[in-house]
Amino acid sequence: MSVATKLELPPLPYDENALEPVISARTVNFHYHKHHKSYVDKTNKLIAGTRYAEMDLDEIVRESCSRDKELFHNASQAWNHNFYWKSLSPGDGLPSGKLADAVKDFGGLDALKTELAAHGEKLFGSGWVWLVWKNEKLAVESTPDAESPVAKGTKCLLAVDVWEHAYYLDYQNERPKHLKAVLDRLINWQFAADNLSK
């Protein structure tokens, strides 16, 4: 990319009330318009007039990871949220294709959900839970704050946000209850399957 670009806040892939009753429209509104937007705006401010202004968001995250922590934290949070909204879906679904086979190898869908929930419950403070493709198999990882596996080149399949702003209006301090509801009813397995096939 040779021309400086301004990063945009991508539109939500569904209406703000589409994730109810698991995640309320009020939570989505605050989360998207306040938190997510602020990361995009701050990233644009930090990259203005720098070499990062010629990069796309993926490149900014990877390049700033060990060089500019303030930029990394904001750019990575922008990337994480872009990915997170796509990881959710208001419709039911199950893993398909290569992903379905990989889930069987993991021990089944219930085992995978249990592992994702456990990582989210054990994570101290704010952060993320990730389903990733590592060493030719599925793996579950958690990262604190703005960190993400993509910064280190790991293929991410889906993400669950466990920052308090993702659930506090609906669940207060009951993170496990939020995780169970999201994992049982909102995971976009087609998005994960598509990411695996790329």
Contacts of 113 (CB under 8 A, 6+ apart): 183, 184
Considering the entire predicted model, what is its pTM?
A: 0.95
Inform me whether the pLDDT recorded for 1 exceeds 80: no
Inform me whether the pLDDT recorded for 2 exceeds 50: no
Q: What is the pLDDT of residues 133-179, one digit of tens each?
A: 999 999 999 999 999 999 999 999 999 999 999 999 999 999 999 99
User: Please, how many CA atoms are within 13 Å of residue 20, restricted to the half-sphere of its CB?
Assistant: 11
pLDDT value of residue 4? 59
Q: Which tokens go with 52?
A: 């990062």
**Average pLDDT over every residue of 85-112:** 94
